[in-house]
Structure 1
């Protein structure tokens, strides 16, 4: 009877041993942050990025047309004229040309983006939620890693977005012809510019988002849990719009590098940022560096709202799932 009682006692789920033998530590230790494993951050980021870019793709197409100079289909900087030209030449389908390239790139890139951000944020912040420098630096590390994944498909996407004037039939035709005619380096021609653009973009974005989210929650802390979706969406929209406006000139340079040689766009000998900026200013004045800033803000404000709310909702799903498994214990 004593043996049975002792066995029952040790089977009690509420019982927690004081310590475990060291040889078992490697079997039960799982790295978590905010209650999630890092593979769960990757899934949450992948879902958020895919939803964000697919939902806002037509706006991105308009921006690409406005930023591509030379004898490309759209020369006016007006958003309305750009939309009308696309619809007139290709119909509504023209707004979605290249979306499959975006789909292939956005998911993996955002999985890397958010998982690297969470890893770095945990390391750099030291658990201090009021550390904007840590958020900014973490965002820079995240964008360097994710841009290495996304840049090739972003180049394909932008070339396809130029519509019927583009010489490519689809994603795989574009990849094959670029490899054959220009080499693998063409896929990364804009990588340096992309990183130089996205590093400050992400630093501003993450710092603004974390600050706005914290500020909104402090306004009405008693209802913060009930209004989390609104808080994440609002903070994301503010962060996305501000970061987009500040980095538009470098985005124009990136578009020029990715679309060079296609449908009459200039081809650059050196591919340096200074060379591209000089060409843009010579052809279109300094206002050319702000081409597409309106659709860029119109893209990033709702896109960031969609992305952050989707990301946080997916995180919440995994947190609930983890807490329901094994009574909330980590196994």
Structure 2
């Protein structure tokens, strides 16, 4: 771990000023991913700017347009158990609680969740080539052990996956990310925040170096009646998803009026295919229709030597999760999905 300077910001303006023009400066709040990256020398920083004492953006509050704003510095645990989130956005609450452990959720912040980096084995191993860690060196995962890697949106430069559970639900809810920096404030649709690897796999998102996420806006519609989050993993807790699915449905007279389906564990960012969601509109919520949508969502998926099973697993997970969304009570421990 390299030496670094430390500064404790008392407000957002001061935090931005500390980091302005310094590409090696890092903002730190919960630090649940950043500290690991620093310890393993995957990331280096000559300045850590502590934003824990910034008084703004520690609240979850209703907005005048009917939506809800999540402060970026609110912890994952406080977000998941907040009455507004549990009642109006249970899909988000379920997704957050599926991730990490209780101890980590007590530390991790909402803004930091969006910024966490891949858990690819080779990214964390400096002895192996990795374009994400060191651009131009190659991707060891493509010809190596790639069981947990991506099957959608990959490139010849990177097949890593984005690990967040929370972000899969935010993608399904069509959240908006609010950002501030030296050039002022801006907002970005959640779908545009994370990037596919392409030729720049070292860039995970479209946040500039000296910008800070200050809040996340949820729209008024939270799919609180018909929703489900399904996470398939190698063990039942404290493991990243092989495949995860966030589903929100709006039903009327036994027809689907709106559908949102987002996937995790399959790509470099949460994955949505709006064509598949549009296909489901005004159709009955049947296994057959959900299976057709799943085929559309996985169209073009390409497996590698050890992870081709993910493609069929994802299709089945989509169908199962959509059926579970018809009866959210099926998500209670010991309950069986309505298949």
On whether the aligned pair clears a TM of 0.5, the verdict is: no
Relative to the length of structure 1, the TM-score reads 0.26
Structure of higher CA gyration radius: 1
Say which structure is richer in strand.
2
